[in-house]
Amino acid sequence: MDALSFMPPATTTPAPAEPPRQNRRQQAKAATRQKVLTAAENLFDRVGYKAGTIRDIAVGAGMSTGAVFANFEDKDALYLAIYGHPALTPEQGRHLAAALRKAVEFLEGFEHDPFQVGLHDLLADCREILPPARREPA
């Protein structure tokens, strides 16, 4: 048997598995969870994390506070599920903004480099979300 006649078996990529079908109870639970998430996101966007309450979220979702707690441990868990990170304290927000300003300042040194593809858009996004820097009293 020469080296050219031996071919390893072809590897095939398995087809992606279909997600398992949900029964009616699972579908209802998923719909309830989504209603809670939507109500919480609307409330947090409208009044902020601190002012929003579980009771307000339940009212917005058209259900009881028990239904909210059946799906989420607390308001922090809801926030994390919606935004992908825990809610920031004002101090953490200030530190994050300061770090982002430093990053923007650093990246601006490369802004006119033609090899930095996408940097202009990244800087524009950062500048758009950064609050104005507060001037420290002299």
pLDDT at 17 over 90: no
Label residue 111 by pLDDT band (50, 70, 90). Answer: confident
For residue 4, the tally of other CB atoms under 10 A from its CB is: 6
Query: Which residues have CB under 8 Å from 69's CB, separation 6+?
Result: 54
Distance CA 41, CA 61 (A): 11
- The whole-angstrom separation of Cα 36 and Cα 96 is 28
Characterize 19-30 residue by residue with b for buried, 16 or more Cβ atoms within 10 angstroms of its Cβ, and e for exposed.
Answer: eeeeeeeeeeee
Task: Tell me the pLDDT band of 112, cut-offs 50, 70 and 90.
Answer: confident
Is the model's pLDDT at 8 over the cut of 70?
A: no
pLDDT at 34 (0 to 100): 95
User: Which of 1-10, 13-22, 23-32 has the lowest average pLDDT?
Assistant: 1-10
Q: Residues 28-56: what's their mean pLDDT?
A: 94
Check pLDDT > 60 for residue 24: yes
Q: What is the pTM of this model?
A: 0.61
